[in-house]
Structure 1
Amino acid sequence: MSDAEKGPTAIFQVGSSNQALGISVVTFMSIALYNAVELAVLIPLSFRRYRSLYFWALLTSSTVGVIPATLGPTFQYFSMTPLWLAVLLSNLGFVMMVPNQSIVLYSRLHLVSQNLRLLRFVRWLIILSIFAIIIPTVILNVGSSYVPTTRWVRGFQVMERTQLTWFSTQETLISTIYIYDTIRIIRLGPSGDKRRHKILYELLAVNVIAIAMDIALVALEYLGFYFTQVILKAMVYSIKLKLEFAVLGMLVSLVNARGSQQVNWQAECTSSGYS
């Protein structure tokens, strides 16, 4: 029986006797927690003001998101805590980590795109996902964990694939917009400004890597490796947040570089509270 045919509780019970999988759980958990703790220290040190959406999205996603999303499945896998605590941590981490990643991407999108209609569309898309995707996913996850009947389990299976596909597509869409506008800025910039072009190409690469990781998670889910996708997700999101932190450093370097749009970039980044 594949992972996709079991409920959440059954998956963890079956996996608990697999030594290789247990080692993988500890490895992925350690990487995710290390990245989250490191970001929790570095993010406040990198901002002059703590009022921007970008700052709070990054900070809450790494602390209230990645950490519970790592501990919840780990506790459930090793039966270290009551089921209610593991489920609570897993769902809290999911809510604060997955949709928050889209908010992180959105909160820096205005730095490259001045299309207000497009920015408004992305904002409402994120709001819609909270009500249409997040709430049903949490309800079905709790229900299938405590009442693992065929109806609850099947409902969660469908919703799990739906939410993973939705958020991966949503993040890919935002990253694609970012990539498109970054390329546009590269083309409009002075041809001799090599440092600025190098930074923009690095920003481009970061977004492409993030898209590739989303595709990997979706592939695991549709191949039937539900639990592998679950234990890998927190680590993947912690890596994406570290890439976002790298983006922060690149943006700071970009606004300090000489270029035809230096004043506009400096104003945008100052308003967001970057150091």
Structure 2
Amino acid sequence: LLACFVAVAAFGSLELLLLIFDFFKRRRGLYFWSLLLSTLATLIFTIVITLLWFAVPQARFGLVFVIVICYPTLNVGNTLVIYSRLHLVTSGRKIRWLFWMIVISSVVFLLPQAIIVTISASPDGEHVRDLYRVFEKLSVTATCVREMIVGGVFVWATARNLKPLIVIKGREGRKMVIYLIIATTMMVVTDIIIVVVVLCGQLYIISALTAFFSVLKLKLEFFSLGKLIRL
């Protein structure tokens, strides 16, 4: 089952890369780069966790070091993708406090986690593995809360600022709002599932689920952008 999650995530990442380069004619801006880097990080993440299943002990530290780079990239990237399309529903203005919330929460939770994971993967890292388990729970919970806030602000801004356009578009506009609400809800649900899995102590499946849900969220984001542009 875990192999299926990883395989779907890998193929989904490849598909998304093709869609990104086909869709974006001007390849610049926060949205493009956060979407691209998140997708690349997810693809590399799936490859590395697959290699970890078969790796000899001597190679584990190097593979874990790659994960330490990829995981924060896909984690923060997923949130930045949502944030970077806020300008589409806020008259070109971004809500700056959200950006700083993303930055601060990433530094507070992901940076220490990366250091702890790196140390725990070393031959003498046994003494920090309990600390890693604690920080893993804090990190995934913080990520869930962060994405709930950013996603909630996006849905609120869409319903509030695009209301005249939604009224003009009629049924199509209402369908778009419903789609965005469902997509955002699904993203939050995936985060909640990750939190529940970690809190239940099932850390051995967390990597596969993280990769799978990352691709799912990125695809939802990509199609949400298409809905907004067509509106």
TM exceeding 0.5: yes
Question: Relative to structure 2, which stretch is displaced further, 183-192 or 101-110?
Answer: 183-192
Distance 2:47 2:169 in 1: 49
Aligned to 2:49: 73
Aligned to 1:180: 156
Aligned to 1:169: 145
Aligned to 1:198: 175
Q: Is the 8 A contact 2:90 2:161 kept in 1?
A: no
What is the correspondence of 1:258-269 to structure 2 with a 5 Å cutoff?
A: none
Q: 2:30 matched to 1:57?
A: no
SS in 1 for 2:211: helix
Q: Is the 8 A contact 1:43 1:59 kept in 2?
A: yes
Give the TM-score, by structure 2 length.
0.91
Distance 2:104 2:34 in 1: 18
Tell me which amino acid in the other structure corresponds to 2:104. L
CA displacement, residues 218-273 of structure 1 (integer Å, 9 cap, x when unaligned): 0111011111122211111011111111112112211xxxxxxxxxxxxxxxxxxx
Aligned to 2:207: 230
Q: Is the 8 A contact 2:31 2:84 kept in 1?
A: yes
Distance 1:111 1:249 in 2: 12
Tell me which amino acid in the other structure corresponds to 2:204. F
Q: 2:219 matched to 1:242?
A: yes
Distance 2:143 2:108 in 1: 12
Aligned to 2:12: 35
What is the correspondence of 1:97-108 to structure 2 with a 5 Å cutoff?
A: 97-108=74-85
CA-based RMSD: 1.9
Distance 1:71 1:246 in 2: 25
CA displacement, residues 176-195 of structure 1 (integer Å, 9 cap, x when unaligned): 11122223246544266221
Tell me which amino acid in the other structure corresponds to 1:107. S
Number of residue-to-residue matches in the alignment = 228
Aligned to 2:134: 158
Q: Is the 8 A contact 1:68 1:92 kept in 2?
A: no
Distance 1:180 1:148 in 2: 45
The change in CA–CA distance for 1:232 and 1:192 in structure 2 (over 3 A counts) is closer
SS in 2 for 1:113: coil
Distance 1:51 1:192 in 2: 30
Runs of at least 5 residues in structure 1 that lack an aligned partner in the other structure: 1-23, 255-275
Q: Is the 8 A contact 1:168 1:214 kept in 2?
A: yes
Aligned to 2:95: 119
CA displacement, residues 167-211 of structure 1 (integer Å, 9 cap, x when unaligned): 111011100111222232465442662212212221121111111
Distance 1:163 1:174 in 2: 16
Tell me which amino acid in the other structure corresponds to 1:179. V
Q: Is the 8 A contact 2:113 2:132 kept in 1?
A: yes
Runs of 4+ in structure 1 off by over 4 angstroms are 185-188
Tell me which amino acid in the other structure corresponds to 2:180. L
Q: Is the 8 A contact 2:13 2:42 kept in 1?
A: yes
Give the TM-score, by structure 1 length.
0.77
